Every structure is written in C-alpha cells, then in structure tokens.
Chain A
C-alpha cells in the first residue's frame, strides 16, 4: 500500500466533497491510500499572483509544509493547483532568501518548508508510482467500445520546468485510458487548445470560443466522451458548456471518475451520473 498526501484545493471540498470520496475509493483499488491534507488552503488559483507573488509562494509553502509534516509526498489532481504549487516549490528550492523569509512566517504555526516532499500530479503518479499494469489489473468493467478523446489541459504540460510529460507529444493519459480498455482518440481539432476555465471570470467570450473549438473537435471525430485529469477542465466542459449558444452537448469525464467506473464502481458512486451533460454510454 502506497500512502500519499492528497491536496484538495477548491475542487474536492464543500459541494464537491463527493469527488474526493470517489477518488479515495478508486485509489483503494490500486493499493494507494490517499490521506486528505485537511489543513491546506486554496493554492491561490494562479490569481493571487496578481495580488502579490510572494503571497502565492507563502500560501503554497505552507501547503507543502503540511505534507512534509506528515512525512508524505503530495498528490495534486487539479492541473492549475499542480502548476502553482510546483512553481512555488521551484522558487523555494532555488531561492534561499525567499525560503528563509517564508519559513520565518511559518514558524508561528510550527511549520517549516524543507523541500523534502515530492509534488505529483495524477498523471505522473499513475505512470511512475502506480504503473499502467496495476491499473489494467484493477479493471473489472473494461471500457470496451468507448471512444474516449484524451484532453490533457495546459498546466501539466507548460511551462517546461514543471511539466509531467513530454510537453509536445505526451502519452501518459492515452496509456491510462488504454489500460481501462477504451479506444483512445488523441488527434482531433482543439486537443491542444486551452479549456477556457480561467477566463470565464475575466473574459467570458474567450471561454465559449475555446469550448467551441475543443468540444466541436471532439464531436467531429465521433468520440463518446472527452476525459481529462483536470477537475477545472472538466468543470469547463460540463458546466460552462451549458453557457454556449448552441452547446454541442459533448459528455465529459474527470479521469478518476471514468477509472472508478472501469474498476467496477457504479455510475452513481463514480460521479459519472452527476454531470449536467449526461454520460449515456454504458
């Protein structure tokens, strides 16, 4: 059993708490014990950086320090949280002055950023820690006949310093989906476009244009569903899609949900039946 600290961010708490339960249950099937790092806070969403970058570094030094206190590596699911935390770690690891200054502040809470915990995203955690074979073995209900479009999202591939896969030609998501027994589609118009999640509250028109590109592309190649490891890309596909003038009504899945379903967890508990755009495929 591998034990890892799970960073929830905003996507796995409040009304989205069930997403963590799905995640925990799914991970149990591949012998991973995910421990919720309860005292962590929002990573700042790459928005607090606009207020002050050091604040973003400090918040995330605290988040990482909480995993270090438990002696655990940190697993992040959200692409943006991953990018923001990994960037902060890089800054803290390469800038002693910054690290010392922030550690001085963390002292009050009895915390210290040491740089001992590794930060994983779902994709490299599945590839490097769990292994594709183990995923394959856990499958109880192979996704036979499911045409699944693979969508990575941006913040696991860019910038290069924090990328978890080859930024130009990544393969981990396809490998995971293949292990579930799905027919993977990884070449479609818009596969590299941004999901538009972060511009919904800065320039909404941009979000809708991005969704049109990606979901239009997914529809054109005849995929049944688009799967993404990022809960924000998923929210953009499932929730913001309904804001489009003519929504293509393309169903989507957050990767752990479709994995849970393939591992034999039912549609309701896997979360797949809670989407605004219904997942009809059985």
Chain B
C-alpha cells in the first residue's frame, strides 16, 4: 500500500514549552481527514483536531498543508501527494488564531469580528409582517443575489489565508464581509441597518483588502468574498462615503477609462492623495532614463464606440458612481491640447500616423514643430 509521511504540528500549551512536529506514516487513500483519523485510531490517540461531518458541511476540519489552507475532509491524499511530488506534508493549525491544542484553534476572535458587521437580518416592518402568523415571502430570483454567500459554514479557511488579516489586526476577515453583504442585498433588511453595516465595514478595513483572490481559492463552498468586498465598496461609494483613497481611485478609473480607454498613472497620486509632486517626480525620473513621457494615454481606436458601450451599461445598471462629465471634459481638453485636434477626430488621426506609439509621438512632434 502506498504511504505518505505527515509532519504534524503538536503543541499542548499546558505541557509543552514550544510547538514541535511529529511524523506519522499514513496510507495514501481517502482524504486528509481519513489520514488524521487513521493516526488517531492506530498510531497516536493524543493528537487533537476538530472534525465532525466528514462531508464538507460542518466546516470544522480546516488546517494548513505545507502552508496552504485546506478543508481536510475535502482534500484527497492522492492529490496532496501529487501536488507536493512526494515531499513530506507539513500539517499545521490555521493562521491568525491562538492554538488551543495541536490543530485546534480558538475561533472566538474572528467570530467577534464578524458580529461587528451585523451579520443578521434587521427586518424592515414595511416589508416583513410583524404578525408572526404572516409569511415573509422571498422569491427565487431575489435569492440569486445571495445564493452563494449563504453557504458559508464558518470554516475560517479564508480568514487563515487572508493577506489583509495578516497585516491589519482590525481587518474583519473575508467571510465576515460576505456575511454582511448577504444582508445588504436582502430586500427585507431595513435601510438604516444597511447604512450601519457600511460604516462598520469601512472601520473594519473594507479598503484594506488587497484583492489577492486567495479567499476565492480556499473557500470550500464557492463563496467569493473578494468579489463581495468589491460590491460593498461600490455600495459605500454610492452611499456617499467618497472621502477614502479607494473611492477616489475608483473615480479615477471610471472617468479616465471612459475618456481615453485607459487609466493614467501619472495623475493617480494627484487625484487620490492630492500629491502633485509625484507627477513631476515621475516625469523627471522617466525623462532621465530617456523614456518619453505621455501626459495622457493615446486615445484608443474606436474610442467613441467604446464610450457608447460604456454609457449604455452605466445608464441601465446599478452603479457606484456617476460619470463626472466636468472631469471628462477636462481630460478631453488635455488630450486635444496635446494632439491639437478635437477628441472625436484625434483618434483616427493618431492612428493614421503610425503603429508604434513612440513613433507616433515623434511624428506628431515633428508635425507640430517640436512642441
């Protein structure tokens, strides 16, 4: 029978001075949870870990394998051996939580953090009948908005893998934001509660998420916390919480992409942090390296039609921000000043001049007498 070596984290704070690793040889069959149960039954009854349902429902058995978060009952041993090509498998408790014993961690902290985001329904009396004898109906199409989020089983895989939790103590955790978002899109929930959740989400680190997508990867239930966080950010901006750098960054993206088809890195520091020197510094650094600096992106070919698509969607859909037309006009003016042409005609003109963008600018400079 094929076997593999598990190096299991062992620590009993009441007895051990420091954690240590103990090796166990286990059969390569079934899941990682089967292997741990094999150890417990045949090799070492003192090993502590949480597990219950064995079928990806209770969320108790998440842990780390060579640093990567896994739900033990969902992870085939064969897959682990193949992934790690015969290397020993180091089994450790989840990150960011105190170890109670061996692979068992204290989940109180993330639970407390989650509670700060009001992860429950605050009924709107205009929608939810106060008389308990009356049904409060939800239609299937309404449930579409939160059909994934309700599967969160609090396994804390995302909390363990989260890049924001690692570097921001206050950060509430991916699952907590998904739990909150679930009620933000529930018609029965009262508007004042939705407003509060946004405030608490912001103070709980909504803008600290780095969007690494690890939470999507590790979630055993297909919840997409990073995407829920994007949705919550959109809601925050829509509700008028526009003072945070992240909200200004969003505005930069919405306006510049509409106006030119591109963002403009030269103007990001100014528009987000009010830092005007950054543009000059960057320009200087690039010029010193002999790199031509473009104050505005070359307008994309087909820009006018691209704008139509953009507007068509924004006019029909729920969105965080309205286009700031005065900003767009300013950008248009910059573009037409640099290219000495109207924004509607410059696109074709720019593209007739040459394929390479560098070639283009030198040609244009030639045309304009080196301006």
Residues of chain A at the chain B interface (Cβ within 8 Å)? 10, 13-15, 17-18, 21, 36, 38-42, 44-55, 58-59, 62, 83, 105-106, 108-109, 154-155, 157-160, 163, 166-169, 192-194, 196, 198-199, 201-206, 209-210, 213, 274, 276
Q: Give min CB distance, A29 to chain B, whole Å.
A: 19
Q: Is B313 part of the contact surface with A, judged by Cβ < 8 Å?
A: yes
CB proximity to A under 8 Å, residues B298-320: 298, 300-302, 305-306, 308-310, 312-314, 317-320
Residues on the B chain within 8 Å of A168, using CB: 65-66, 68, 83-84
B351 / chain A contacts, CB cutoff of 8 Å: 38
User: What residues on A are CB-neighbors of B301 within 8 Å?
Assistant: 38-39
Is B30 engaged at the interface, CB distance under 8 Å to the other chain?
no
Taken together as a complex, chains A and B put the C-alpha atoms of A63 and B292 apart, in Å, by 26
Structural contact, A108 and B309, CB atoms closer than 8 A: yes
Judge if B7 is at the interface, Cβ distance under 8 Å. no
Number of residues of chain B lying within 8 A (CB) of chain A: 78
Contact call B213/A55, Cβ cutoff below 8 A: no
Q: Are A199 and B210 in contact (CB under 8 A)?
A: yes
* Interface segment, one of B114-122, B179-187, B261-269: B261-269
Enumerate chain A residues within 8 angstroms of B237, measured Cβ to Cβ.
Answer: 50
A-B contacts, 5 of them at CB < 8 A, read A15-B293, A17-B356, A50-B230, A51-B250, A203-B207
**Contact (Cβ within 8 A) B217 A51:** no
6 smallest CB-CB distances across A and B, nearest first, come from A41-B261, A202-B246, A159-B216, A14-B294, A158-B217, A158-B213
Distance of A160 Cα from B66 Cα, bound (Å): 18
A-B contacts, CB under 8 A, total = 196
B246 CB to closest chain A CB (Å) equals: 4
Which A residues are CB-close (under 8 A) to B300? 38-41
The answer to whether B9 has its CB under 8 Å from any CB of chain A is: no
**Quick one: CB contact mask for B278-292 with A, threshold 8 Å, 1 for yes?**
000000011001011
A202 near B313: Cβ-Cβ < 8 Å = no
- Let me know if A206 and B208 touch, CB within 8 A: yes
Partner of B320, one of A52, A159, A213: A52
CA distance A217 to B248 in the complex (A): 33
Name which residue of chain B comes closest to A198, CB basis. B211
Name the residue of chain B whose CB is nearest to the CB of A171: B85
| Complex contact A49–B298 (CB within 8 A) | no
Which of B163, B227, B246, B314 is the one whose CB lies under 8 Å from A52? B314
Q: Which of B244, B289, B294, B312 contacts A274 (CB 8 A)?
A: B289
Task: Give bound CA distance, A159 to B215, whole Å.
Answer: 8
State whether B313 touches A47 (Cβ < 8 A): no
Known: A45-B263, A155-B213, A193-B163. 18 other contacts (CB 8 A): A13-B262, A14-B293, A18-B291, A21-B356, A38-B355, A41-B300, A42-B261, A44-B257, A50-B230, A50-B237, A55-B310, A55-B313, A55-B314, A108-B305, A109-B309, A159-B217, A168-B65, A202-B245
Closest to B262 in A: A42
Q: Does B254 contact A (CB under 8 A)?
A: yes
* Given A42-B262, A42-B263, also A47-B212 (CB < 8 A): no
Verify A109–B291 contact, CB threshold 8 A: no
Question: Which chain B residues border A50 with CB–CB below 8 Å?
Answer: 230-231, 233-234, 237, 250, 320
Q: Shortest Cβ distance from B72 into chain A, in angstroms?
A: 15
Question: Is the beta-carbon distance between A105 and B214 smaller than 8 angstroms?
Answer: no
Query: In the complex, what residues of A have CB within 8 A of residue B319's CB?
Result: 51-52, 55
Query: Given A42-B257, A158-B217, A202-B249, is A276 in contact with B285 using a C-beta cutoff of 8 Å?
Result: yes
Residues of B with C-beta under 8 A to A202: 207-209, 244-246, 249
CA distance A5 to B315 in the complex (A): 32
Do A47 and B214 form a contact, CB below 8 Å, given A17-B357, A55-B317, A202-B208?
no
Whether the Cβ atoms of A201 and B246 lie closer than 8 Å is yes
Residue among A18, A49, A51 with the highest chain B CB neighbour number at 10 A:
A51
| A79 to B: closest C-beta gap in Å | 10
Query: What residues of chain B have their CB less than 8 Å away from a CB belonging to chain A?
Result: 65-68, 83-85, 163-164, 166-168, 205, 207-214, 216-217, 224, 227, 230-231, 233-234, 237, 244-246, 248-250, 252-254, 257, 261-263, 265-266, 268, 272-273, 285-286, 289, 291-294, 297-298, 300-302, 305-306, 308-310, 312-314, 317-321, 351, 355-358
Closest residue of chain B to A17, judged by CB? B357
- CA A192 – CA B227 in complex, angstroms? 21
Q: Are B263 and A108 in contact (CB under 8 A)?
A: no
Please tell me if the beta carbons of B253 and A51 are within 8 angstroms of each other in the complex.
yes
A41 touches B210 (CB 8 A): no
Bound-state CA distance A108–B217 (Å) is 37
Closest-CB distance, B249 to chain A (whole angstroms): 4
Question: Is the beta-carbon distance between B309 and A106 smaller than 8 angstroms?
Answer: yes
Contact B285 A58 (CB under 8 A): no
* Cβ–Cβ < 8 Å partners of B227 in chain A: 49, 53
CB-defined contacts of A17 to chain B, threshold 8 Å? 292, 356-358
A54 touches B257 (CB 8 A): no
Q: In the complex, what residues of B have CB within 8 A of residue A201's CB?
A: 245-246, 248-249, 252, 268, 272-273
B207 CB contacts on chain A under 8 angstroms: 202-203
Question: Which among A50, A105, A209 has the highest number of chain B CB atoms within 10 Å?
Answer: A50
User: Which of chain B's residues have a CB closer than 8 A to the CB of A194?
Assistant: 163, 210, 212, 214
By beta carbon, the residue of chain A nearest B207 is A202
Q: Are B297 and A203 in contact (CB under 8 A)?
A: no
Task: Determine the chain B residues whose CB is within 8 A of the CB of A40 once the complex forms.
Answer: 300
B305 in contact with A198 (CB, 8 Å) = no
Complex: how many Å from CA A6 to CA B205? 36
Q: Which of B163, B164, B310, B317 has the most CB of A within 10 A?
A: B163
Question: B214 to chain A: which residues have CB within 8 Å?
Answer: 154, 158, 194
Which residues of chain B have C-beta atoms less than 8 A from A210's C-beta?
163, 167, 210
Contact among A44, A109, A159, A166 for B253, CB-based, below 8 A = A44
* CB–CB A10/B263 < 8 A: yes
